[in-house]
């Protein structure tokens, strides 16, 4: 019986999943062809996974998105991690969705912690540390509302909003390559009004993101490690280019430099991926590691889920722009 990408590490593995380098990901599960929100017509993860250009697009996905997460670019000037990325998105989403007259929508520090907690990737203390770092580096400000001095409202600065628009643009640029007609012009162009309309609707996506991350539990251990996903992607890219090449520390030297991680950390990532069944060797040691079909399926699923949710929120934002009047927060920054 074939092992699916959702199986727990250590369960029975079929012959195909144990053989590295085949580049035959496990097929999408039926649930991946279902909409995240049934009422919103959008491209599903399964539709994206089965696009004839999906495999070729992996390289573009990595090159376009990784630049936003480099040490020199990532807000706070430190390493990107899944919980930090989620928290930054939540800060902008809560800001965009605020209705000043409705206290339940205020972007409080407590609401930020609750929003990020749905993903199960961080503690409240980690969010406190992140907030302190972002304040110190001018990515957010904490505002005390006159109506309640006990609260702290988390406000993104123009600097964080500009970074978030660049992140959005990188994902929509990839989607536009797959689906150029009618394309994703407003997001690719980093339109400020569209950006906040998209982020306002994305508040509804917190639970959706939590669901699709939980469904791809094979990848969660790597997402919790600095640059774990990017290191796994590097192995996939190298094996696609040369199935026989040996892995060397120097093959990851740019990741060390660009993302501020150590070589020993990269070796730990590779060991974690191997222990989880995402990478396997042919018996000649870790220098011969290559992605298993299960590992490739986990990576592809993460990419497809990310792009499918982006397609959905793009459509939601277009509808919102057509029906809602402009708001003060939608003014160009």
Cis, bond preceding 182 (omega within 30 deg of 0): yes
Half-sphere exposure of 211 (CA within 13 A, CB side): 12
For the residues of 205-273, what is the DSSP string, one character each?
GHHHHHHHHHHTTTTHHHHTSTTHHHHHHHHHHHHHH-TTPPP-GGGGHHHHHHH---HHHHHHHHHHH
pLDDT at 5: 37
Place 327 in a pLDDT band, splitting at 50, 70 and 90: low
pLDDT at 3: 36
Rounded to 5 degrees, what are φ and ψ at 263?
A: -65, -35
The span from the CA of 43 to the CA of 39, in Å, is: 13
pLDDT at 205: 79
Range with the poorest average pLDDT among 23-27, 77-81, 213-217, 241-245: 23-27
Nearest to 94, CA basis, from 152, 138, 137: 152
pLDDT at 12: 38
Segment 257-277 mean pLDDT = 94
Contacts of 14 (CB under 8 A, 6+ apart): 1, 2, 3
Range with the poorest average pLDDT among 119-128, 210-219, 233-242, 278-287: 278-287
Which pTM was predicted? 0.86
For the residues of 125-158, what is the DSSP string, one character each?
HHHHHHHHHHHHTTSEEEE--TT-TT--EEEE-H
Segment 312-316 mean pLDDT = 94
Q: Tell me: the pLDDT tens digits for 4-53? A: 334 443 343 443 434 444 466 778 889 999 999 999 999 999 999 999 99
pLDDT at 295 over 60: yes
Q: Hey, where are the domains in the chain?
A: 16-31+49-69+214-301, 82-204
More confident call, 286 vs 126:
126
CB-based contact 161:92 (threshold 8 Å)? yes
In this structure, which CATH number among 1.10.10.10, 3.40.50.2300, 3.50.50.60, 1.10.8.290 belongs to the domain 82-204? 1.10.10.10
CA distances to 81, 89, 92, 166, 220 from 196, rounded to whole Å, are 23, 11, 8, 13, 29
Q: Tell me: the pLDDT tens digits for 169-214? A: 999 999 999 999 999 999 999 999 999 999 998 887 788 888 888 8
- Per-residue b/e over 157-180, b at no fewer than 16 CB within 10 Å? beebbebbbebbbbbbbbbbebbe
Place 58 in a pLDDT band, splitting at 50, 70 and 90: confident
């Amino acid at each position: 019986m074939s092992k699916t990408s959702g199986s727990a590490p250590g369960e029975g593995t079929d012959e195909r999943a144990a053989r590295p380098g085949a580049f035959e990901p496990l097929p999408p599960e039926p649930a991946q062809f279902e909409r995240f929100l049934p009422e919103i017509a959008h491209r599903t993860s399964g539709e994206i996974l089965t696009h004839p250009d999906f495999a070729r697009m992996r390289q573009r996905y990595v090159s376009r998105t990784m630049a936003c997460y480099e040490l020199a670019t990532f807000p706070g000037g430190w390493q990107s991690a899944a919980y930090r990325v989620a928290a930054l998105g939540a800060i902008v989403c809560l800001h965009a969705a605020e209705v000043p007259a409705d206290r339940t929508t205020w972007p409080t520090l407590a609401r930020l912690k609750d929003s990020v907690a749905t993903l199960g990737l961080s503690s409240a203390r980690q969010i406190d540390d992140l907030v302190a770092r972002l304040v110190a580096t001018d990515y957010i400000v904490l505002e005390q509302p006159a109506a309640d001095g006990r609260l702290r409202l988390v406000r993104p600065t123009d600097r964080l909003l500009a970074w978030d628009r660049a992140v959005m643009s990188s994902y929509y640029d990839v989607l536009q390559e797959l689906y150029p007609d009618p394309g994703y012009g407003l997001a690719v162009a980093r339109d400020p009004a569209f950006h906040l309309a998209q982020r306002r609707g994305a508040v509804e996506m917190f639970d959706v993101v939590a669901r699709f991350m939980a469904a791809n539990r094979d990848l969660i251990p790597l997402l919790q490690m600095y640059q774990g996903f990017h290191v796994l992607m590097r192995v996939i890219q190298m094996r696609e280019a040369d199935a026989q090449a040996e892995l060397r520390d120097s093959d990851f030297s740019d990741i060390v430099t660009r993302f501020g991680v150590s070589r020993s950390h990269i070796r730990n990532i590779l060991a974690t991926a191997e222990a989880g069944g995402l990478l396997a060797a042919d018996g000649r040691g870790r220098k011969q590691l290559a992605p298993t079909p299960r590992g490739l399926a986990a990576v592809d699923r993460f990419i497809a889920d990310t792009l499918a949710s982006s397609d959905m929120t793009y459509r939601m934002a277009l509808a919102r722009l057509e029906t809602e009047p402009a708001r003060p927060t939608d003014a160009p920054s």
